[in-house]
Amino acid sequence: MKKSLRFYLLFLLVSGYAFSLAAKTPTYVGYKKCRGCHRGERRGHVANKWEDSKHARAFEALDEKDRKNPVCLQCHTTGYGRIGNGGYLEGVQCEAGHGPGSEYKHGRIMNARRYKVNRAEQHKKAVGAGLWTPSVKTCRRCHRKNALDFKKNLSDERPLQPQ
Ligand code: HEC
Ligand code: HEC
Ligand code: HEC
């Protein structure tokens, strides 16, 4: 193999790797991005149910003063402490449980037809792109004291949307 070709291939490998790293750091996109695909009957009205839920209003539940209190923001917002410069999304949004969605939200990851063909494979792709699998621990991060049956909720096909 010619030396210049070898260098060229090495360059491709390194830049490809750097690109894949750069492309894979997921960021928070906000529920409106999810809503487009996850509302309506076909998707179990999951986004519509969320909009009517207490999670959606968790930020509004805080008064003006508490909206500046980092302690309250930890549990009444999404992404607080993970978004730079003290940023957050208001309320307990989709991404509080499912992880920052910039990488997994794309049709090529979540495509309905592809899911029907091979759901397990699509799930793996989504997880590779940053989708979390919510567990009781996910809920317990904020719900430290109460006795809600998170285990049962999470085992339902459409996990509980607090009303
Ligand atoms: C381009 C449309 C689209 C967007 C945008 C989208 N989704 Fe999806 N999502 C889908 C489809 C289609 C499925 C498969 C649903 C099914 O098979 O019932 C899915 C499945 C899922 C699943 C189950 C996946 C699994 O592998 O367990 C979760 C969780 C999910 N989406 C969360 C989100 C979140 C959170 C967002 C926003 C950050 C989002 N989605 C944005 C279309 C989308
Ligand atoms: C560890 C997470 C966590 C922290 C920190 C936290 N909260 Fe909450 N808060 C919750 C949860 C979870 C609920 C829902 C009630 C329940 O089921 O325990 C709640 C409920 C509330 C409610 C009732 C809302 C309603 O609709 O009735 C108010 C008001 C509230 N919190 C204010 C605050 C304020 C003010 C702070 C900061 C001083 C704060 N919370 C800090 C998790 C937290
Ligand atoms: C980022 C923090 C956070 C996470 C994660 C979280 N919650 Fe919540 N949840 C809250 C807060 C804050 C409230 C209260 C909102 C309000 O009343 O304004 C709440 C309210 C609720 C309620 C309504 C409680 C009531 O008294 O009516 C239910 C049910 C609930 N959450 C279930 C869950 C489940 C199930 C999970 C895990 C899949 C979960 N939550 C994850 C913060 C969180």
Compute the average pLDDT of residues 25-50: 87
- Whether the predicted model's global pTM rises above the 0.85 cut: yes
Is the C-beta atom of 13 inside 6 A of ligand 3?
no
Summarize pLDDT for 39-95 with one digit per residue, the tens: 887 766 788 888 988 999 999 999 999 999 999 999 999 999 999 889 999 999 999
- Ordered by start, the domain boundaries in the chain are 30-155
Name the burial class of residue 83, with classes exposed (0-12), middle (13-18) and buried (19+) by CB atoms within 10 angstroms of its CB.
middle
Residue located nearest, by CA, to atom 25 of ligand 1:
123
Residue located nearest, by CA, to atom 36 of ligand 3:
139
Range 30-155 classified under CATH 2.40.50.140:
no
> Residue 129 C-alpha to ligand 3 middle, in angstroms?
25
Specify the long-range contacts of residues 65-71, CB closer than 8 Å, at least 24 apart.
Answer: none
- What is the DSSP secondary-structure string of 128-142? HTT-----HHHHHTT
